[in-house]
Amino acid sequence: MTNQEKIALLEETLEIDEGTLTEDTLLEDVDEYDSMAKLSLIVMMDDEFAVKLTGDMIKGFQTVGDILAVMEKA
Amino acid sequence: MYSELKDVKVVGMAAAVSNTWDNVREFSTEDEAVINKFIKTTGVEGRYSANPRQCTSDFCFAAAEKILEEKKIPREEVGVLVFITQSSDYYLPATACVLQNRLGLSTSCIAFDVNLGCSGFTYGINIVGSLLKTSQTKYGLVLAGDTSAREKSQKIRRKFGHSAELLFGDSGTATLIENTASDPILVSSHTDGAGYKAIIAPYEAFRNPDRPASEIPGTRMDDIEVFNFATSEATAQINDYMEKQKKNPEDYDCLVLHQANLMILKRIGKKTGFPKEKVLISLDRFGNTSSSSIPITLVYKYGDCDDERMINALCCGFGVGLSWSTVALPIDVKDILPLVHTDEFFEDGYPREEIEE
């Protein structure tokens, strides 16, 4: 999966308009990235990549790029 | 651990709420987009909230009265009463003692409170079933509920942070268990106190009596930790339980999960192999009702059915503690009574300041 495809998947998961996010987008600037969106992210990562996101991992995410880095099959 | 309860049977179930139903769209001050997302994620469209003077015990009392009256149970034959709540009437005495008297039960009755939340109902079945088996008494009552939508203290009605404030509902339930020949009931119970901070109200009890002004009042919840706990541990427990019973989802009429939020329910349903139509939902109407949620979901689904047929309900409660428990309950649908509405409360005669609305 290319980075562009991962970003598109992330936008779909977080219910954000297509083309909004880049690798450098700071998550604290994304209004939609709230506690409910984080639960959707956990579900997507488990279903699509078999990655179990922990609370500490999520707290460590600063940018969209940090999330893309773990979007690999476990 | 697994417990096997021989010759005990659930013979009555009721749930009570107030007459006040709050529509999330009407009482929330959040903008529409946030509300839509909240409803989609949690499944909660509204909830019943207790009137200012109503306590959990008032709802449990009304539910228990309904069962005792409808089923014409001689009150002297009820020898066990366990009240499971995190919103008791007083610091002391145990609210169960007050309820024993209010319900007109014999003084030859074991009555005590248990401080558990979302796993409370399934734990309660285990506790009351076990006590019935070591006594000669005929009936026991599991009274479970919470008024989580409102935490009340002194003059201030505390509010949770935004999503939790919308998520919770107030209610109380009663489940009557009879000491009678029956197939054994298997209960699986787990505890992981390492996660005690995931859902906690740390202040204003004995450990930290004084809350610094910088700290939020009431209960705090780590949504992500709770989500990961519920979807992994509850799922594992249910799957292990089915294996132990040598059963699969086709052998149960329904999966009745603690109504935490819709996303958790869908996730556990999927990972345990239950089809969507078997995973019962009551969140839309009642919100997350803590230890009431399993019986209230059964009442919502079957309370108005006139059928006389046995169902096998696989029930799993999970949450604060962390604590989780699974039990498969065979219940006759006719023993699940219609929802009770009450605005009544217990007048104990103590002077009090009115709660600010």
Nearest CA to B146 out of B53, B67, B83 is that of B83
Q: Which residues contact A30 (CB under 8 A, 6 or more apart)?
A: A14, A16, A21
- How many C-beta atoms surround the C-beta of residue B233 within 10 A? 17
Per-residue pLDDT of chain B (357 residues), as tens digits, is 999 999 999 999 999 999 999 898 887 777 888 888 888 888 899 999 999 899 999 999 999 999 999 999 999 999 999 999 999 999 999 999 999 999 999 999 999 999 999 999 999 999 999 999 999 899 999 999 999 887 643 333 443 444 556 789 999 999 999 999 999 999 999 999 999 999 999 998 999 999 999 998 888 899 999 999 999 999 999 999 999 999 999 999 999 999 999 999 999 999 999 999 999 999 999 999 999 999 999 999 999 998 889 999 999 999 999 999 999 999 999 999 999 999 999 999 999 876 555
Find tokens 């008024």 and name the residue. Answer: B147
A4-60 confidence digits (pLDDT tens):
999 999 999 998 999 999 999 999 999 889 888 999 999 999 999 999 999 999 999
Residue A58's CATH number:
1.10.1200.10
Start-to-end Cα distance in chain A: 14
ipTM: 0.89
CB of B60 closer than 8 Å to CB of B81: no
Query: Of B223, B232, B263, which is closest to A43 when you measure between CB atoms?
Result: B263
- The total number of structural domains in chain A stands at 1
For B154, the 3-state DSSP assignment is coil
Domain B2-341 indexed as CATH 3.40.47.10 = yes
B222·A55 Cβ contact <8 A: yes
Residue B307: what pLDDT? 84
Please answer whether residues B253 and B338 qualify as being in contact, where contact means their C-beta atoms are separated by less than 8 angstroms.
no
Tell me the domain boundaries of chain B.
2-341
Over the stretch B39-67, which tens digit does the pLDDT of each residue have?
888 889 999 999 989 999 999 999 999 99
Considering only the beta carbons, identify the residue of B38, B232, B267 that sits closest to A36: B38
Contacts of B277 (CB under 8 A, 6+ apart): none
Partners of A15 on chain B (C-beta within 8 Å) are 37
Tokens of B349: 């005669």
Residue A34 is part of which domain span?
3-70
Q: Is the peptide bond before B105 cis (omega within 30 degrees of 0)?
A: no
**Cα–Cα distance for residue pair B100/B82, rounded to 1 Å:** 10
From chain A, the residues in CB contact with B223 under 8 A are 35, 38-39
Tell how far CA B121 is from the center of its chain. 5
Contact criterion met (CB below 8 Å) for B132 and B179: yes
